[in-house]
Structure 1
């Protein structure tokens, strides 16, 4: 079963490479992929340098629940580190404080449903005895 899946993957990869039009489209896609991978590795490396293991673990658990929130916190941490505002590694308690600060700043979106009455909607005129 695994061999079949691997063969299908290889065939699909070759098909995608060949559909690049012969103009190096496959190579360009590979370069883009490598660039994204390098950026992700650099980001991960920086986060490892500024987070205690417990804080990194908590951020990983947050990522499993809500990836956008974890990315937002990571961006904020990286920005603080790059601006020199972090003097030491971020502990789990400091991460919790940052999470609470971000949660307090976010306003909950409210959805208001306004229903219009139709012109012949005279149910409110009926009285029941």
Structure 2
């Protein structure tokens, strides 16, 4: 990625941070301010993704979003994090995006669950049979 691209990404992030600080200091004036803030964040996010993705990769990510929005959001968050930390040296190609998706899928297979899943573990100790015994004693 060229220095001017990084400068644009940093400027977009700085504008986003300034917007967040301004909104937090003013308090919640109404739903319209919240909607406007979300719109600006979405625009900043889209701008950053346009700077770090080649058109083919952006198109693929859009198709993924139509099928599974949470997966696309996870990939976008990872890409933005990599760009902000300076780990992306050039625009991400479609093949690199495919590799990232494959590694996410492999990670889910290894762990046995997807990012969205929740495992419920119940504690032992209190059993319905114990309650029956207490009620039958009287």
Tell me the TM-score normalized by structure 2. 0.59
**CA distance in structure 2 between the aligned counterparts of 1:84 and 1:102, rounded to whole angstroms:** 21
2:95 matched to which residue of 1?
93
2:131 matched to which residue of 1?
none
**1:6-45 aligned within 5 A:** 28-45=30-47
Superposed CA offset, 1:65-87 (max 9, x none): 00000000000000000000000
**CA distance in structure 1 between the aligned counterparts of 2:70 and 2:37, rounded to whole angstroms:** 22
Displacement of 1:29 in angstroms is: 0.6
2:23 matched to which residue of 1?
none
Instruction: Name the Cα RMSD after superposition.
Output: 1.9
**CA distance in structure 2 between the aligned counterparts of 1:108 and 1:34, rounded to whole angstroms:** 39
Displacement of 1:28 in angstroms is: 1.1
Structure 1 spans left out of the alignment, 5+ residues: 1-24, 112-129
* 3-state secondary structure, aligned to 2:98: helix
2:64 matched to which residue of 1?
62
Displacement of 1:108 in angstroms is: 3.5
**Runs of 4+, deviation exceeding 3 Å:** 107-111
- Greater Rg over alpha carbons, structure: 1
Tell me the TM-score normalized by structure 1. 0.63
**CA distance in structure 2 between the aligned counterparts of 1:59 and 1:50, rounded to whole angstroms:** 12
**CA distance in structure 2 between the aligned counterparts of 1:108 and 1:54, rounded to whole angstroms:** 31
How many positions carry a matched residue from both structures? 86
